[in-house]
Amino acid sequence: MPRLEFAFEIRVDCAPDLHIGRGADEVLTLTPITGGTVTGPLLRGDVLAGGGDWAVERSGTAQLEARYAIRAADGAVIEVLNRGYFRASEDALARMDRGERVPEDDPGVYFRTAPVFQTDAPAHRWLAEHQFVGLARDEDGQVCIRVFVVR
């Protein structure tokens, strides 16, 4: 049976969403990524400015695709492609809008991702050779993703 091992947490700083539009029953937005941090037992570093998170919302569920880079503590650069889904009940959205911390295991929130990493840095090659699952939440103006490696 698969086993999840906590690897690290990515805390992403974002600029305000940019509305792109799409159609009558869906909305496309871009959220620019401006920086952040990576901390944990298996990776430490910084999220580099310049990436973005594209979201298409249909029927209350947003399909997400974020692309950005991490500079590891040893200087290696790691590309991240993080796809996932977000939906929340009206109550959970209202609490988020008020600035309340809504944990990732709240029954009114589904915010899950599947990050994929690329790098040729020998010390971090393991990132490009494993499957990962992310549990995400909004906290203090950041998107925080607890990343687990599937063993």
Per-domain residue ranges of the chain? 4-150
pTM of the model as a whole: 0.92
105-125 b/e (C-beta count within 10 Å ≥ 16 → b): ebeebbbbbebebebeeeebe
Q: Model confidence over 51-96: pLDDT tens digits?
A: 999 999 999 999 999 999 999 999 999 999 999 999 999 999 898 8
- Judge: domain 4-150, CATH 2.40.160.20: yes
DSSP string, 30-82: EEEEEEEEEESSS--EEEPTT-EEEEEEETTEEEEEEEEEEEETTS-EEEEEE
User: What pLDDT is attached to residue 140?
Assistant: 83
| Residue 7 pLDDT exceeds 90 | yes
Greater confidence, 106 or 66? 66
